[in-house]
Structure 1
Amino acid sequence: MSSRARVWPGKSYPLGAVWDGKGVNFALFSAHAEKVELCLFDSSGQREIERLTLHENTDQIWHGYVPGLWPGALYGYRVSGPYEPQLGHRFNHHKLLLDPYAKQFYGVLHLRDEHCGYQVGHSNADLSFDARDNAREMLKCVVVDTSFNWEGDRLPEIPWSQTLIYETHVRGYTIRHEGLPHHLRGTFAGFAHPEIISYLRALGITSVELMPVHAFVDDRFLTDRGLRNYWGYNTLCFFAPEPRYLSGGDLAEFKTMVKRLHDAGIEVLLDVVYNHTAEGNELGPTLSFRGIDNASYYRLHPGSRRHYINDTGCGNTLNIAHPRVLQMVMDSLRYWVNEMHVDGFRFDLAVTLGREEYGYDRQGGFFDAIRQDPALARVKVIAEPWDIGPGGYQLGGFPAGTAEWNDRFRDTTRRFWRGDDAMLPRLAPNLLASSDLFEHDCRRPWTTINYVASHDGFTLADLVSYNDRHNEANGENNRDGHPSNFSNNYGIEGPTNDSAIQQIRLRQRRNMLATLILAQGTPMLLAGDEFGRSQRGNNNAYCQDNEINWIDWRHMPPEEAEFLDFIRRLINLRREHPVLRRYTFLHGKQISKTTGLRDIEWISPGGGALADRHWQEAKARCFGMLLAGDAGEYFTQDGHPEIDDTLLIILNAGSSTLPFRMPSVSGARHWRCLLDTARPRLAAGEVLIDTGADLQMESQAVIVFALVRESGS
């Protein structure tokens, strides 16, 4: 039977391979291809059993319908066209290509010379042409049945004001957990295990942010060194989950994980990489996009379309300005929301997504598409506000509806607790959700994603244990990773048995997390920071799929168990007090009807308001933040207004104990201590101090007090 008789015309929409119960419709975009062939393989993926030409081309979509094909079928594409790198075209029909819309892959990909469209090592480099067939060693796309029983799934829909994000890695979080069966460790099924979910609930987080779960590739320069792309910021396909995270190879495993987390009231956010792909620069492999339509999928240098614009630092930049590429990204986002039920996204190098031909534009096509899309309107959208291109740092420069990672909060908090000079005027706006950056376009305080540590950089424990990065294991002579960490080892580089150093490190960790959790805005906690996870001083552990990155659940010393208990109390304190998560930015203007206090007042150690001279004093290390509990409106779940406690948060980053006069407030006689980082075992309410009295404020500590009104409320 001829391929024309075997393949019906089919439809140009939707793109990808779609099974309808009787057969499969295939649709692939390529504006410059001359021929597209669909290759079908046997169940081993080793033998090509049929090659079918897709004769139909509608609006640059090549399409065809194959009757009688079922889920589980393995396929790929061969795309013919000009091989003219100088003009941006890199077609090579000898290379089997992956469907950009594939929902699942079969096999394991090891990058080899034959996966490149040119002859590796040739004197003409990428201008040469490689005629070897790579099909046997290439991944195969899998036709899938996307149906799943979502009955009973209820989206948590956590309000931004109550959100606490927990950044983690599916594999590293579960691979060494002894409470999980061995075959589930390192997988979505392992993350869905009751042991993991009960821990997350007890900790008090509301939303897990999973590092990349889209299928990705281990860079060849890493595998040659015996390393892997552990983090996963090297996306191969925007629809398929990473195969190594599927314990049984079934897509339902990811959906089951989401459903179980939802049952526990926990949201699932995905860290996604739509700024570049795993194909790298002109010397990279031809795996999918490059061989399908290089000139459409990537941003190329106008002077020499042989080379790629590299605003990402990863070799290439996806051409989001192209309507079909933008469509693919939007289709991917909708797929993960509608089919996989995820609750939001963190966009890696999000500035790249807003780049138009003339530069970055926060009103660009990508952001417009996100804002108008009904499926995406209800999910959380978070931007990493930088890339390495021109004007690539855009903190505060994103449109309404977008939250942003706030590295200014991170660096200022670290420097304040390290004891750097002149930090008071820098820290204060960050404690109030950085209104100078985020208040435009009627954005809310939760727009700022506050953090002191993330996957990229030192862990919290390493911040107080190392002065310098120690990335020797990465094989780059310790040159990679950021050199400025604003850390302090307190006398000894790395682990120590010195009890005095151990205690100050524990206290500084409590101080930094207290600053994070008590600040206005949305806090993000790095997984393992709640019990002292270390990466041995590696601040760029992207390639370490080993004990450097894996969380060790096997042994928790008493001091870390105590630290974990303290963090749970801290998180619970934030949850119980809405004054810590206000709906509006604080500017010291609203007046409390009961106490006469402003919504925010900055208190000096003398008990009065911080004067200009205090703000300008470089050596000032101690101040108080007074939040009036009835200066704003708070509401219970049934819509009734409520009044919160008035809280006083005192921070002292100095090296000396000093007297701090407790503010006098109309209608109140006492302050009740809720939490003290210098005395982590102190029970709430155990210490009561009179208004107007002097408190001996410990060095390097945070204390939280609640005002006790005369009525006893």
Structure 2
Amino acid sequence: MAILGARPDKSGTEFTVWSSQAGKIELCLFDADDRETQRLPMARGADDIFRLRVGGIGEGARYGLRADGDYAPERGLWFDPEKLLVDPYAVEIDRPYVYDARLAARRGEGGDTAPLMPKAVVRALSDPVSARAPLFEPGGLIYELSVRSFSMRHPQVPDEDRGTLRALAHPAIVDHLKKIGVSAVELMPVTAKIDERHLPPLGLTNGWGYNPVTFMALDPRLAPRGIADLRSTTKALHGAGIGVILDLVFNHTGESDERGPTLSLRGLDSRAYYRHAPDGRLVNDTGTGNTLACDHPAARDLVLASLRHFVRNAGVDGFRFDLAPVLGRNDQGFNANAPLLAAMRTDPLLSDRILIAEPWDIGPGGYQLGRFGQPFLEWNDKYRDDVRRFWRGDAGMVGRLATGLAGSSDVFPGTASRTVNFIAAHDGMTLADLVSYEKKHNEANGEANRDGHDENLSWNHGVEGESDDAGVALHRAGDQRALLATLFASRGAIMLTAGDEFGRSQRGNNNAYAQDNAITWLDWAGRDRALEDHVAALAALRGAVPVLRDPTLLTGQPQKGDACADVEWLTETGQPMDDSAWNDPRRRRLAMVLGVAGVDGGRLAVLVNGDRRASSFVLPVRDGYNWVDALDPAADAEAWRRVEGRAVVFMSERKR
């Protein structure tokens, strides 16, 4: 399909939009006072592209679209010329979307929506960013963050930059990212979104952004200067050696279900852009009311154009795809080789980018962990749940823990893992809340605590959320350290959600998407600096020991002429784990000894004590080598190590 949207040149601007069903499309031009000054018919071509060239207008012009045709919502036809529509290929809009019930009114009932709608802005883009390899290596640390909540309370970020992309380029932010070893930031959605219709009456707003309308235009609240803000922030982070991954939503839009607003795709060609059942009803494989029809060429071209836009014009390193099975869905279900996924693998601009799938949606056959294939990395919720269960104290989890530490060969068979290991993410409880709340506390969301997952695999010590008791506080702090150490000891890519490195809490809220306030805004002044320093030490160790980052699956045999096996699994007494040990449901201790640790040719031992009781671990001894604490190399060398209570300890084998 041809490149669509608004393309200005020296003499004017050419506007193009696609629709197979519209009978008529008009271009509407607006002045600086938001008044509609012209309504111009667009000419339809044989390719279903409507075109119009307007002389004398260019950079900064504001416009919208109106489409007319059959109005039969029961058949997926929503044409209504009173609904001003935003160009799906717009690269900038002049204001945020604000929900209003009139946007969802039926034809002939709501009046003209132009006063309620953002206008697309004609923008001549800068020269493309110079091509470069992504700034991320296998096994790196991905740092997931919400631009707004991450920076709203940072004392060193200027007031005018707080809550925007520009905050991420501030030296204090960059220093923090480097301190904890971030390889790439993963930005939760920064494209233009709209609140779900139930939020305004509750006095709430969608702070996460997973309800997009236009896929290329950035939300003006996060990027007041549009794509230029993303481009300059990416450049600043690249200068510090940190990559940028965009979390993008191509599974649904904020036009929602049959009671949702008509904003863009629905009003232009709902039957093409959204999946529909044979009877005309919207398919809801996302839980949001609609599902993008990524198997349709029009939707596929829009997604690919959006990805290319962010690589070409901002230089981003990669993408994380929300509810990614939708990208490979057709009428028969999920296909890992669907045209859209295949195009991402072969496209000249996209094929070398970091591609990360959230491998589940709620449609039939929606759980696809491990099935996306190269080069996709995948969020590994099995790892997440197994680690939580082990540290919660569930029986029989030591084997599952070992599998996760080693790269999850059960999920990613072959020679290398594609896992993204994580323990907590934006969706669910924070790391600190995992060890402080056994049950969710979503009362602030206004849904009587019915929303969010009921099973969080979490636990608490003492009274929920309270830590006045010194013993309770000590246990919670220790459990957080153990969880973090487990994550940093796991092979393959790892992901940390912003603030979990210093004990952020959402007061037990495990679905805080609508809490754009102090519940989600990071408390930089009150952060746990001791925990943050612990994470920095873990990151430094992981950076210095390549075997921890290596996604290659372990064999238990020496590799490339090494003297030692790539891994040994031992009991705390130094004996090999046998079937009886692996199958003992009471076992809470394990030693993973990795060969070629990158420190003087020695090994690295990861000692896991999941018991409250202390334990002494016996380490395998080789002539000419000593074992030392990897995080405290100045400590005395010993052939054993006492682990006080629940903890993960790293030991390095070094030459005497």
Structure 2 length-normalised TM = 0.97
Q: From 421, 438, 447, give the equivalent of 1:476.
A: 447
Question: What is the CA deviation profile of residues 506-550 of structure 1, one whole-angstrom value per residue up to 9, with x for unaligned ones?
Answer: 111111111101111101011001111100110000000000000
The one of the two structures with greater contact order (alpha-carbon pairs below 8 A, sep at least 6) is 2
Q: From 640, 643, 649, give the equivalent of 1:697.
A: 643
Superposed displacement of residue 161, structure 1: 2.4
User: Are 1:144 and 2:123 matched, yes or no?
Assistant: yes
Q: Which residue of 1 aligns with 2:98?
A: 110
C-alpha distance in 1 between matches for 2:400 and 2:359: 20
User: Percent of aligned positions with the same letter in both sequences?
Assistant: 43
The code of the aligned residue for 1:75 comes to Y
Equivalent residues of 1:155, 1:267 under 8 A apart:
no
The 5 A counterparts of 1:198-277 are: 198-247=175-224, 249-277=225-253
Equivalent residues of 1:90, 1:117 under 8 A apart:
no
Superposed displacement of residue 32, structure 1: 0.8
Equivalent residues of 1:25, 1:65 under 8 A apart:
yes
Q: From 372, 384, 387, give the equivalent of 1:410.
A: 384
Superposed displacement of residue 354, structure 1: 1.0
C-alpha distance in 2 between matches for 1:573 and 1:435: 24
Q: From 143, 167, 171, give the equivalent of 1:190.
A: 167
Q: Secondary structure at the match of 1:439?
A: coil
The code of the aligned residue for 1:297 comes to Y
C-alpha distance in 1 between matches for 2:580 and 2:138: 34
- Stretches of structure 1 that go unaligned for 5 or more consecutive residues are 1-11, 120-128, 635-641, 676-682
Q: Which residue of 2 aligns with 1:32?
A: 21
Pick closer, same or farther for the CA change 1:190–1:592 going to 2, 3 Å. Answer: closer
Q: Which residue of 1 aligns with 2:626?
A: 670
User: Are 1:624 and 2:591 matched, yes or no?
Assistant: yes
User: Are 1:364 and 2:364 matched, yes or no?
Assistant: no
Equivalent residues of 1:217, 1:278 under 8 A apart:
yes
C-alpha distance in 2 between matches for 1:612 and 1:438: 23
C-alpha distance in 2 between matches for 1:92 and 1:704: 64
Q: Which residue of 1 aligns with 2:359?
A: 385
Aligned residues: 656
The 5 A counterparts of 1:556-705 are: 556=527, 560-590=528-558, 593=561, 595=563, 597-629=564-596, 644-665=601-622, 667-675=623-631, 683-690=632-639, 694-705=640-651
C-alpha distance in 2 between matches for 1:268 and 1:324: 27
Question: What is the CA deviation profile of residues 343-366 of structure 1, one whole-angstrom value per residue up to 9, with x for unaligned ones?
Answer: 100000001111111111111122
Q: Secondary structure at the match of 1:199?
A: helix
The code of the aligned residue for 1:564 comes to E
Q: Which residue of 2 aligns with 1:76?
A: 64
C-alpha distance in 2 between matches for 1:462 and 1:131: 45
Equivalent residues of 1:148, 1:252 under 8 A apart:
no
From the CA coordinates, give the structure whose radius of gyration is larger: 1
C-alpha distance in 2 between matches for 1:512 and 1:113: 45
Question: What is the CA deviation profile of residues 248-268 of structure 1, one whole-angstrom value per residue up to 9, with x for unaligned ones?
Answer: x45322211111111111101
C-alpha distance in 2 between matches for 1:345 and 1:198: 24
Equivalent residues of 1:367, 1:399 under 8 A apart:
no
Pick closer, same or farther for the CA change 1:58–1:594 going to 2, 3 Å. Answer: closer
Equivalent residues of 2:324, 2:357 under 8 A apart:
yes
C-alpha distance in 2 between matches for 1:487 and 1:162: 26
Q: Which residue of 1 aligns with 2:48?
A: 60
Q: Which residue of 1 aligns with 2:427?
A: 456
Q: From 348, 369, 376, give the equivalent of 1:395.
A: 369
Q: Which residue of 2 aligns with 1:41?
A: 30
Superposed displacement of residue 116, structure 1: 2.0
Superposed displacement of residue 435, structure 1: 1.4
Equivalent residues of 1:588, 1:599 under 8 A apart:
yes
C-alpha distance in 2 between matches for 1:591 and 1:175: 49
Question: What is the CA deviation profile of residues 124-145 of structure 1, one whole-angstrom value per residue up to 9, with x for unaligned ones?
Answer: xxxxx53611112211111112
C-alpha distance in 2 between matches for 1:376 and 1:209: 17
The code of the aligned residue for 1:704 comes to F
The Cα RMSD (Å) is: 1.8
Question: What is the CA deviation profile of residues 386-444 of structure 1, one whole-angstrom value per residue up to 9, with x for unaligned ones?
Answer: 0001111111111210000001111111111111100011111111111121134x6x3
Q: Secondary structure at the match of 2:177?
A: helix
Superposed displacement of residue 340, structure 1: 1.3
C-alpha distance in 2 between matches for 1:485 and 1:534: 15
C-alpha distance in 2 between matches for 1:74 and 1:592: 62
C-alpha distance in 2 between matches for 1:22 and 1:684: 69
Question: What is the CA deviation profile of residues 216-252 of structure 1, one whole-angstrom value per residue up to 9, with x for unaligned ones?
Answer: 00122101110001110000100000111124x4532
Pick closer, same or farther for the CA change 1:266–1:669 going to 2, 3 Å. Answer: closer
Equivalent residues of 1:177, 1:553 under 8 A apart:
yes
- Stretches of structure 2 that go unaligned for 5 or more consecutive residues are none
C-alpha distance in 2 between matches for 1:149 and 1:295: 34
Q: Secondary structure at the match of 1:314?
A: coil
Structure 1 length-normalised TM = 0.89
The 5 A counterparts of 1:150-549 are: 155=132, 157-247=134-224, 249-302=225-278, 304-305=279-280, 307-440=281-414, 444-445=416-417, 447-549=418-520
